[in-house]
Amino acid sequence: MTAQEIFFIILALIAVTGALLLVLLKPISHRVVSMAFAFMAISGLYFLLGAEFIGIVQIMVYVGAITILFVFGMMMTEHRTIVFERDPRLAHQAIGLISSVSLLGLLIFGILSMDLPQTEGYVGSAEAIGLELYGYFFVAFIGSAFLLTAALIGAIVVARKEAD
């Protein structure tokens, strides 16, 4: 077993454990910490794949920005009154389990039946990503910037209404 395989197993276990704890833990603060660990492990997996740019973006956007937004949201709201309880109806739990297992089966079947061309590894550098993003997809990039700005303004309006 190579060192890369050992690091992959460790990072995959951290990511899966963080995701499971995110769903299973009760306090929101513990959920945010487990989410941050899962995001860090996923960025480590990107580094193992040789996609350093995407790994750094994962750290900056998800671990940094999204986790901090959750922390600010916890501090600005009364999160002690929010209780996540299990649905006591057995039918809902059975439907959820059946749909989750069938979706997982479809995903596994789709992934295993894909016919992907063999490549020589990761070929996307930061320069190539920048040329694609600001060349061919410039309009989509500007559109997403407008959408993110509108979402930020909407969040400020909602936060102002809660404060009043």
Q: What is the pLDDT of residue 7?
A: 93
Q: How many CB atoms lie within 10 A of CB 108?
A: 10
Give CATH for domain 1-84: 1.20.120.1200
Q: What is the pLDDT of residue 121?
A: 56
Tokens of residue 81, six digits:
């009154």
Q: How far apart are CA 113 and CA 78, in angstroms?
A: 48
Q: What is the pLDDT of residue 76?
A: 75
List the domain boundaries for the chain: 1-84, 126-164
- The residues, ordered by sequence, that sit 6+ positions from 8 with a Cβ below 8 Å of its Cβ are 45, 48
| pLDDT digit string, tens, across residues 121-149 | 555 677 777 787 788 888 888 998 899 89
| pLDDT digit string, tens, across residues 33-89 | 898 899 999 999 988 988 888 888 888 888 888 878 877 777 777 666 566 566 667
Q: How far apart are CA 70 and CA 43, in angstroms?
A: 19
Q: How far apart are CA 18 and CA 33, in angstroms?
A: 8
Q: What is the pLDDT of residue 77?
A: 72
Q: What is the pLDDT of residue 83?
A: 60
| pLDDT digit string, tens, across residues 84-121 | 566 667 888 889 889 999 999 999 999 889 887 776 65
Contact 18, 31 (CB under 8 A): no
Whole-angstrom distance between the N-terminal and C-terminal Cα of the chain?
60
